[in-house]
């Protein structure tokens, strides 16, 4: 079934309210039964500068922006310039812009698109307390075919706190804009459908990761603010206390990771969230969690690196540090969500796995997954929860790091009589006493390694889809555009397989061998300048003879059309 | 409740694990181990209800030698780990132990912010003004003209860190100085520190007989503070800034409420959180 979708960009100078407008439009689209995504683009300014809300709506679930945009609304012409690299336009695209005086503004970038002047500032002035962004909301709703009523409830919800006057002014502006929209070219949006309440959600990837964490049983979080992970923490700070949990704002990332190790030692499933610079600070203590066998989950919402890099933009370049950044031989888990909705499942599963294996799990989300808001189908509630092997009764000879039938040894919790031990980052004996002997070191290294490599991860290690002898292997936020590209190809009769790896460590050689059965050629897609994913796959797995790599650094997102182009050598144009 | 019935009170020896310490003969830390076990016994805290948390260094080996729960973590992070444990498990008696390098150099930021945050725990710092485990480098509390430090053969040339003054300024709720030469006196102060709500700092002058043998003289130089503990920070500051670092006893007792977020839930099911996302 081919997709019906519309892509809309809304730009304005700082403070013009484009993000609020975009969020309200997205929610109205959700109420109309549409799926949608919205991403934010902005400069580094804390307040001010330019901002753009990039929105796409469809009759089918969305995970990616389209190759180009249909409609751009610029509240002021100059604001559009800095975003043109992210907003490709076609000849039949339309720019609605306030030319303020009717003459074409020189600051409006030259494009192929048709330009239409709409005096939004003047229209807003005619309304007492009116604002151009609310005019824009009405205009956009009309042009893309949303019913006028779909905005009303959202206006009330969002603006109630600002008082009756502000609400009335906005309502009047939306009405004016909606009427003015009737005179503009109309786009055929997806059909309006009636979706039962609660069947669709509006959620960001960062909120989804937070939800996954608490669903998995996390009740203690310590963290230090960092872009683009802060929203995970903001959501958890509000939600954990409702569940009897707590979020502590720590003094730095060294404190964050050690606080969660302490809380988890005390029996509470624990998590911290950060981005690349914070992960780098935490690595020593993640090794402590591995060595002392205390379960913790570290969520890294990746951004462009190295160093401070581009804090607000996406990249998949923390793979190396997540896999290999710990000193010594420190087997641990590395996972990555394969979609925005999957941030729930993967984070929840990571909590379950870390607790089950008493080790550290690093979850690699990214800015694109984390800060995108999407209208999605209600996510399934999966049963994976934290379940630690805690002995009910402790015998005379309890040994915390015992090497028994299972490499996961029973872990007592402070307060439990007879279970006292010292958790240690020093190599230790089975009883937990420090040891510098080869035999103890080898035995404990084996224990910590076996418990992870022998674990039955089941089918969740990857999302595998499609048929044919060509496969795309990718991960994280790159999965979205790949999935859309392959569904476009499928609609045209070309089948390409897809493998989205969720469990990056430990390696799953047998699972990979099975997944690659019958595959002759592989395209790898990743957002990293130094080919981190490619190098990882090369080292970990046997790939088919023909391997092609499509990689580039952030922040430029992959587009479905680019993936199709990459595949065109293999799936010739006569097949496309 | 941490207390067990009086008839089952354990003696100090029963708070020892039996693991043989790595410390040099004559090290002050042996005495502090004894003071700590006496304090735990004196307060009748069941070993399973106490957790002793440390970083890295000679004195940070302490948890291994105790029969309580323990955590021997990485260098400098004992207070962070202990804070996480205490916040998550307010029912436990949490004690952090370590040395001057661990606490005031690599762990300096956590020291400031744990004083500020004021969780209900006790921090025992065995201060010997030297890095012993790495064989004799100057520490943050070393005097500027000490010329035996192998990395600073001409002395550090910089002023020593004043932990008690910094602790006071940062908001610690209980500040005491002890000498390892007085095991019973130190035990009493540790008991008082554990009982006092909020963050309690106990600095113990604990000689390093190997790299600072001159510290053997400390036992002759220390003397009980001539005045009672004050709860007035200004007065405490004046005293701490002028006391040469050799007065022992409880020096400051504050009244700040400890940091302890409530851990009572207001909803029954995680699924109740779904509502905010539903359209």
Q: Which of the 8 DSSP states describes residue B276?
A: G
Q: Which of the 8 DSSP states describes residue B102?
A: I
Q: Does any CB of chain A come closer than 8 Å to the CB of residue B103? A: no
Report the SS3 class of residue A498. strand
Whether the per-residue pLDDT at A461 is higher than 50: the answer is yes
The secondary structure element, H or E, covering residue B168 is helix B163-170
Residue among B80, B110, B263 with most chain A CBs within 10 A, to mutate: B80
The reported pLDDT for the residue numbered B217 is: 97
Report the SS3 class of residue A34. coil
The percentage of chain A sitting over the pLDDT mark of 70, rounded to a whole number, equals 98
Q: Does any CB of chain B come closer than 8 Å to the CB of residue A417? A: yes
- Choose among A282, A239, A242, A238: nearest CA to A259: A282
Count, residues in chain A: 576
- What is the Cα–Cα distance from A398 to A377, expressed in whole angstroms? 48
In the structure, what pLDDT confidence band is assigned to residue A447 with cuts at 50, 70 and 90?
Answer: very high
Q: Label residues A8-23 b or e (16+ Cβ within 10 Å = b).
A: bbbbbebebbbbbbbb
| A181-214 per-position pLDDT tens digit | 999 999 988 999 999 989 999 999 999 999 999 9
Contact A567, A473 (CB under 8 A): no
Q: Which residues of B touch A254 (CB under 8 A)?
A: 76-77, 80, 109-110
Contact A253, A396 (CB under 8 A): no
- Two tokens at B66? 């105790």
Count, residues in chain B: 279
| A155-165 per-position pLDDT tens digit | 998 888 889 99
- What is the Cα–Cα distance from A298 to A351, expressed in whole angstroms? 10
Report the SS3 class of residue A467. coil
Q: Which of A201, A241, A261 minimises the CB distance to B278?
A: A201
- For chain B, the distance separating the N- and C-terminal CA atoms, rounded to the nearest angstrom, is 47
Token pair 């002898």: residue: A469
- What is the Cα–Cα distance from B84 to B73, expressed in whole angstroms? 13
Across the interface, whether the CB atoms of A417 and B46 are under 8 A apart is answered yes
How do the domains of chain A map onto residue ranges?
5-181, 202-377, 461-567
Across the interface, whether the CB atoms of A262 and B85 are under 8 A apart is answered yes
The reported pLDDT for the residue numbered A260 is: 98
Whether the per-residue pLDDT at B101 is higher than 70: the answer is yes
Average pLDDT, chain A: 94
3-state secondary structure A250-294: CCCHHHHHHHHHHHHHCCCCEEEEECHHHHHHHHHHHHHHHHHCC
Same fold for the domain at A5-181 and the one at A461-567? Answer: no
A246-249: strand order across its sheet:
A246-249, A220-223, A270-274, A296-302, A360-366, A333-335, A503-505
- Two tokens at A423? 């958790």
Q: Which of the 8 DSSP states describes residue A380?
A: P
Across the interface, whether the CB atoms of B84 and A197 are under 8 A apart is answered no
Which residues 6+ apart lie within 8 Å of A268 measured at CB? A219, A220, A245, B88, B89
Q: Which residues of A touch B82 (CB under 8 A)?
A: 262
The reported pLDDT for the residue numbered A575 is: 44
Interface of A with B in 262-321 (CB under 8 A): 262-268, 270, 284-285, 288, 292
β-pair partners for B16: B66
In the structure, what pLDDT confidence band is assigned to residue A397 with cuts at 50, 70 and 90?
Answer: confident
In the structure, what pLDDT confidence band is assigned to residue B1 with cuts at 50, 70 and 90?
Answer: very low
| B254-274 per-position pLDDT tens digit | 999 999 999 999 999 999 999
β-pair partners for A247: A221
Cα distance from A20 to chain B (closest Cα, Å)?
17
- For chain A, the distance separating the N- and C-terminal CA atoms, rounded to the nearest angstrom, is 16
Contact A538, A326 (CB under 8 A): no
Whether the per-residue pLDDT at A524 is higher than 60: the answer is yes
β-pair partners for B179: B205
Return the CATH number of A461-567, one of 3.30.470.20, 2.30.30.230, 3.30.40.10, 3.40.50.920: 3.40.50.920
Which residues 6+ apart lie within 8 Å of B119 measured at CB? B82, B83, B86, B87, B94, B198, B199, B258, B259, B260
| B235-250 per-position pLDDT tens digit | 999 999 998 899 999 9
Across the interface, whether the CB atoms of A419 and B277 are under 8 A apart is answered no
- What is the Cα–Cα distance from A348 to A218, expressed in whole angstroms? 9
Chain A residue with the nearest C-alpha to that of B261:
A246
Q: Does any CB of chain A come closer than 8 Å to the CB of residue B28? A: no
The reported pLDDT for the residue numbered A415 is: 98
- Two tokens at A164? 């009756």
Return the CATH number of A202-377, one of 3.40.50.970, 3.30.1700.10, 3.40.50.300, 3.30.565.10: 3.40.50.970
- Choose among B149, B250, B183: nearest CA to B29: B183
- Two tokens at A437? 């002997």
Q: Where are the beta strands (DSSP E) in B149-276?
A: 174-179, 199-205, 223-224, 247-253
Chain B residue with the nearest C-alpha to that of A247:
B261
Name the architecture of domain A5-181.
3-Layer(aba) Sandwich (3.40)
The reported pLDDT for the residue numbered A244 is: 98
Interface of A with B in 240-259 (CB under 8 A): 241-246, 248, 250-252, 254-256, 258-259
Q: Which of B86, B89, B271 minimises the CB distance to A267?
A: B89
Note if the bond before A506 is cis, omega within 30 degrees.
yes
Q: Which CATH class is domain B6-277?
A: alpha beta
- Two tokens at B69? 């729960």
The percentage of chain B sitting over the pLDDT mark of 90, rounded to a whole number, equals 95
The reported pLDDT for the residue numbered B7 is: 57
The reported pLDDT for the residue numbered B96 is: 98
Q: Does any CB of chain A come closer than 8 Å to the CB of residue B63? A: yes
Across the interface, whether the CB atoms of B88 and A30 are under 8 A apart is answered no
Interface of B with A in 113-132 (CB under 8 A): 113
Give the Cα-Cα-Cα angle B3, B7, B8 (nearest 5 degrees): 60
β-pair partners for B71: A423, B53
Contact A372, A402 (CB under 8 A): no
β-pair partners for B176: B202, B250
Q: Residue B242: how many CA atoms within 13 Å on its side-chain side?
A: 7
Contact A550, A566 (CB under 8 A): yes
The ipTM assigned to this model is 0.97
DSSP string, A55-119: EEEESS---S--SSEEEEEESSGGGGGGGGGG--EEEEEEEEE--SSSSPPTTSPP-SSEEEE--
| B182-234 per-position pLDDT tens digit | 999 999 999 999 999 999 999 999 999 999 999 999 999 999 999 999 999 99
Contact A123, A96 (CB under 8 A): no
Contact B56, B75 (CB under 8 A): yes
| B107-133 per-position pLDDT tens digit | 999 999 999 999 999 999 999 999 999
Q: Label residues A486-505 b or e (16+ Cβ within 10 Å = b).
A: bbbbeeeebebbbbbbbbbb
- What is the Cα–Cα distance from A42 to A555, expressed in whole angstroms? 12
- What is the Cα–Cα distance from B200 to B198, expressed in whole angstroms? 6
Q: Which residues of A touch B266 (CB under 8 A)?
A: 241-242
| A481-500 per-position pLDDT tens digit | 999 999 999 999 999 999 99
Task: Please report, for residues A142, B40, B99, the alpha-carbon distance to residue B34 in angstroms, rounded to integers and kept in the order given.
Answer: 79, 10, 17
Q: What is the mean pLDDT of residues A286-308?
A: 98
User: For residue A439, how many other CB atoms are within 10 A of its CB?
Assistant: 9
The reported pLDDT for the residue numbered A1 is: 47
- Two tokens at A434? 């420090």
User: For residue A383, how many other CB atoms are within 10 A of its CB?
Assistant: 8
- What is the Cα–Cα distance from A250 to A271, expressed in whole angstroms? 13
Max Cα-Cα span within chain A: 88
| A234-262 per-position pLDDT tens digit | 999 999 999 999 999 999 999 999 999 99
Kindly give the pairing relationship between strand B174-179 and strand B199-205: parallel
Cα distance from B191 to chain A (closest Cα, Å)?
20
User: For residue A555, how many other CB atoms are within 10 A of its CB?
Assistant: 18
Whether the per-residue pLDDT at B22 is higher than 90: the answer is yes
Chain B residue with the nearest C-alpha to that of A26:
B279
Across the interface, whether the CB atoms of A425 and B72 are under 8 A apart is answered yes
Task: Please report, for residues A20, A123, A134, B190, the alpha-carbon distance to residue A140 in angstroms, rounded to integers and kept in the order given.
Answer: 13, 15, 10, 69
Q: Label residues A290-329 b or e (16+ Cβ within 10 Å = b).
A: bbbbbbbbbbbbbbbbeeebbbbbbbbbbbebbbebbeee
Q: What is the mean pLDDT of residues A439-450?
A: 98
Task: Tell me the Cα Rg of chain B.
Answer: 20
Cα distance from B70 to chain A (closest Cα, Å)?
4
Whether the per-residue pLDDT at A320 is higher than 70: the answer is yes
Give the Cα-Cα-Cα angle A475, A477, A483 (nearest 5 degrees): 75
The percentage of chain A sitting over the pLDDT mark of 90, rounded to a whole number, equals 85
The reported pLDDT for the residue numbered B89 is: 98
| B162-172 per-position pLDDT tens digit | 999 999 999 99
Q: Does any CB of chain A come closer than 8 Å to the CB of residue B5? A: no
In the structure, what pLDDT confidence band is assigned to residue A564 with cuts at 50, 70 and 90?
Answer: very high
The secondary structure element, H or E, covering residue A180 is helix A164-181
In the structure, what pLDDT confidence band is assigned to residue A382 with cuts at 50, 70 and 90?
Answer: confident
Q: Which of B69, B74, B279 minimises the CB distance to A420?
A: B69
């Amino acid at each position: 079934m081919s997709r019906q979708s519309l892509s809309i960009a809304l730009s304005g100078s700082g403070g013009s309210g484009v993000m609020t407008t975009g969020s309200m439009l997205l929610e109205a689209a959700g109420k109309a039964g549409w799926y949608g995504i919205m991403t934010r683009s902005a400069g580094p300014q804390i307040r001010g500068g330019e901002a753009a809300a990039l929105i796409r709506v469809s009759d089918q679930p969305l995970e990616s922006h389209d190759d180009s945009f249909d409609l751009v609304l610029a509240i002021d012409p100059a604001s559009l310039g800095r975003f043109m690299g992210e907003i490709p336009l076609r000849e039949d695209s339309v720019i609605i812009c306030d030319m303020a005086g009717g003459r074409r503004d020189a600051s409006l970038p030259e494009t192929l698109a048709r330009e239409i002047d709409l005096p939004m500032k003047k229209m807003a002035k005619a309304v007492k307390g009116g604002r151009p962004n609310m005019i824009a909301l009405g205009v956009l709703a009309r042009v893309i075919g949303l019913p006028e009523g779909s905005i009303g409830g959202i206006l009330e919800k969002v603006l109630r706190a600002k008082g009756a006057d502000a609400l009335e002014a906005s309502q009047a502006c939306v009405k004016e804009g909606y009427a003015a929209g009737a005179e503009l070219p109309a786009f055929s949006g997806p059909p309006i459908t009636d979706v039962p309440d609660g069947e669709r959600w509006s959620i960001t990837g960062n909120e989804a990761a937070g939800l996954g964490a608490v669903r998995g049983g996390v009740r203690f979080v310590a963290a230090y603010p960092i872009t683009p992970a802060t929203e995970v923490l903001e959501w958890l700070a509000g939600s954990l206390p409702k569940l009897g949990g707590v979020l502590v704002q720590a003094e730095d990332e060294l404190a964050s990771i050690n606080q969660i190790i302490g809380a988890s030692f005390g029996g509470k499933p624990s998590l911290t969230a950060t981005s690349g610079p914070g992960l780098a600070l935490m690595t020593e203590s993640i090794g402590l969690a591995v060595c002392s066998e205390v379960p913790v989950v570290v969520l890294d919402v990746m951004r462009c690196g190295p160093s401070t890099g581009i804090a607000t933009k996406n990249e998949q370049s923390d793979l190396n540090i997540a896999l290999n950044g710990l000193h010594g031989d420190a087997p641990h888990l590395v996972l990555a969500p394969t979609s925005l909705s999957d941030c729930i499942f993967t984070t929840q599963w990571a909590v379950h796995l870390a607790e089950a294996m008493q080790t550290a799990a690093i979850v690699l989300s990214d800015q694109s997954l984390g800060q995108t808001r999407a209208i999605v189908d209600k996510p399934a509630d999966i049963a994976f929860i934290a379940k630690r092997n805690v002995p009910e009764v402790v015998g005379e000879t309890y040994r915390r790091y015992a090497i028994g039938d299972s490499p996961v040894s029973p872990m007592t919790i402070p307060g439990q009589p007879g279970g006292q031990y010292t958790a240690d980052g020093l190599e230790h004996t089975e009883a937990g006493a420090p040891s510098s002997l080869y035999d103890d070191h080898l035995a404990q290294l084996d224990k910590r390694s076996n418990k992870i490599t022998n674990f039955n991860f089941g089918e969740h290690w990857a999302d595998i889809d499609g048929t044919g002898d060509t496969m795309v292997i990718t991960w994280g936020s790159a999965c979205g555009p790949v999935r859309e590209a392959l569904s476009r190809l499928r609609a045209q009769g070309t089948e390409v397989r897809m493998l989205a790896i969720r469990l990056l460590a430990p390696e799953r050689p047998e699972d990979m061998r099975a997944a690659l059965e019958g595959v002759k050629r592989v395209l790898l897609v990743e957002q990293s300048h130094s080919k981190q994913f490619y190098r990882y796959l090369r080292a970990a797995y046997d790939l088919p003879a023909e391997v092609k790599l499509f990689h580039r650094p952030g922040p430029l997102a992959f587009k479905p059309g680019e993936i199709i182009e990459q595949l065109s050598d293999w799936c010739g144009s006569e097949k496309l | 409740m941490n207390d067990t019935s009086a008839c089952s009170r354990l003696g100090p020896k029963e708070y020892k694990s039996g693991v043989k310490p790595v410390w040099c003969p004559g090290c002050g830390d042996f005495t502090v181990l004894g003071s700590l076990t006496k304090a735990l016994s004196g307060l009748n805290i069941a070993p399973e209800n106490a957790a002793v948390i440390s970083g890295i260094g000679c004195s940070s080996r302490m948890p291994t030698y105790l029969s309580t729960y323990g955590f021997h973590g990485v260098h400098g992070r004992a207070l962070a780990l202990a804070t996480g444990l205490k916040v998550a498990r307010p029912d436990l008696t949490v004690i952090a132990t370590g040395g001057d390098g661990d606490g005031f150099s690599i762990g300096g930021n956590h020291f400031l912010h744990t004083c500020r945050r004021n969780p209900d725990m006790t921090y025992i710092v065995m201060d010997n003004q030297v890095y012993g485990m790495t064989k004799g480098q100057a520490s943050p509390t070393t005097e500027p003209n000490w010329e035996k430090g192998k990395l600073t053969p001409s002395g550090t040339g910089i002023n020593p860190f004043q932990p008690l003054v910094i602790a006071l300024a940062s908001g610690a709720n209980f500040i005491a100085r002890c000498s390892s030469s007085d095991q019973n006196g130190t035990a009493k102060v540790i008991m008082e520190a554990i009982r006092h709500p909020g963050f309690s700092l106990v600095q113990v002058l604990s000689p390093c007989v190997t790299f600072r043998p001159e510290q053997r003289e400390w036992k002759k130089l220390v003397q009980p503070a001539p005045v009672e503990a004050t709860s007035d920070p200004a007065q405490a500051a004046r005293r701490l800034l002028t006391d040469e670092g050799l007065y022992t006893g409880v020096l400051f007792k504050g009244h700040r409420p400890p940091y302890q977020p409530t851990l009572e839930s207001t909803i029954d099911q995680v699924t109740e959180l779904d509502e905010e996302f539903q359209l």
